Structure 1
Amino acid sequence: MRYAGIVLAGGRARRLSGVDKPALVVDGTSLLAKAIAALAGAERVVVVGPERPGHGDVEWTREAVPGGGPVAGLMAGLAAIPPDVPRVVVLAADLPGVRVSTVDRLLGALGDRAGAVLVDAAGERQWLLGAWLAGRLREALPERGEGASLRRVLGGLEIVEVLALPGEAEDIDTPGDLERYS
């Protein structure tokens, strides 16, 4: 199944005192490396955020206005994906439990729906853990993405929810989250 991957790695990490979250190491591997590894089957991986050395064959890009939020980041990532790539997997760069099997389940559930997103144990859609039909995703995006909400932009699309396995949908946003993985 042909797909490309986009990793959003440009957040400000305000709740973690501005630390470079994608560079945080969990179980001997940076969070960014975990996200890239989960996209092992992708024909192209685009990382949106400041370039960080040591991540092999990925393409780096930035939002038109750095720090413009996830919709702006998604737009920058999609701009680097050729239009003939039919599917895109979008991941945040702060997911310690994401793996190839996560991506495979999302892609397998996608079918002809616009998107497939992971749903955590509380029933919340994880907008930065999803597989999308690239054309439908492009059509849904606004002209300008700075400050826009992913939930508002993508929530009206036909989406299949994929129940997360234990730990799969967790992210690291706070010192307490990081402590659980240290």
Structure 2
Amino acid sequence: MTHRPRFAGIVLAGGSARRLSGVDKPELRVGGISLLGRAVEALTGAEPVVVCGPRRPGYDTVVWTREDLPGAGPVAALAAGLEAVDAEIVVLLAADLPGIRRSTVDRLRSTVENTDGAVLVDAAGARQWLVSAWHAAALRAAMPEHPENASLRRTLAGLRIAEVAAEPGESEDIDTPEDLEKHR
């Protein structure tokens, strides 16, 4: 049996949800559980699970952090999350994924071994950067000196990446009222 290194989880739960009239998107409920709750549940076994975004009640097992300038984008949030972890592997998730599950995290973790990272790829072939697993050292090395408003794709695209094909529903996110309605 192969030993898998300890892993941490980072969930990006900030953002303004402009296309959803500014609602607290991570707290939207699908199937009786919040989207943030789904992400935290998918990261079962992670030490710690770090949530980058405004503190919300009911998540007693997570570590909360914020980027220095709230709203400065996913790279700034990821940089803040990295400061709270010391695990060898980091699983990065968005907090708006209704189809995320533990098996998704397990597949990403099992693929990251001989690369810098493993990224879920949707049916159209697009990399889903916020459903990924990384060697923490590679992530730290890729972080720009000033992460505010940096492009996540540009920040991570230069790393050695394995692509993991998404199973149905895994890569979907909720950005619009129509997306939410589809998952209700």
TM-score by length of 1: 0.97
Cα deviation 1:150-171 (Å, max 9, x = unaligned) = 1000001100000000000000
Specify the alignment match of 2:143 in structure 1.
Answer: 141
> Which AA in structure 2 matches 1:64?
D
Q: Is residue 68 of structure 2 the alignment partner of residue 61 of structure 1?
A: no
Tell me, what secondary structure is at the counterpart of 1:7?
strand
- Sequence identity, in percent? 65
Structure 1: distance between partners of 2:48 and 2:149: 27
Structure 2: distance between partners of 1:25 and 1:131: 25
Structure 1: distance between partners of 2:114 and 2:163: 13
Specify the alignment match of 1:4 in structure 2.
Answer: 8
Q: How does 1:55-134 map to 2 (within 5 A)?
A: 55-82=59-86, 85-134=87-136
Point out where structure 1 has 5 or more consecutive residues left out of the alignment. none
> Which AA in structure 1 matches 2:178?
G
Displacement, 1:11?
A: 0.9
Structure 1: distance between partners of 2:72 and 2:133: 22
Match 1:13 to one of 8, 14, 17: 17
Displacement, 1:43?
A: 1.6
In the TM superposition, structure 1's runs of 4+ consecutive aligned residues that sit over 3 Å from their partners are none
Cα deviation 1:70-97 (Å, max 9, x = unaligned) = 0000000001112xx1000000000000
Displacement, 1:56?
A: 2.4
> Which AA in structure 2 matches 1:148?
A
Cα deviation 1:35-91 (Å, max 9, x = unaligned) = 000000212100000000101210000001000000000000001112xx1000000
Q: Is residue 46 of structure 2 the alignment partner of residue 42 of structure 1?
A: yes
Structure 1: distance between partners of 2:104 and 2:91: 10
Q: Is residue 42 of structure 2 the alignment partner of residue 33 of structure 1?
A: no
Tell me, what secondary structure is at the counterpart of 2:162?
strand
Point out where structure 2 has 5 or more consecutive residues left out of the alignment. none
Displacement, 1:112?
A: 2.2
CA RMSD of aligned residues (A): 0.6
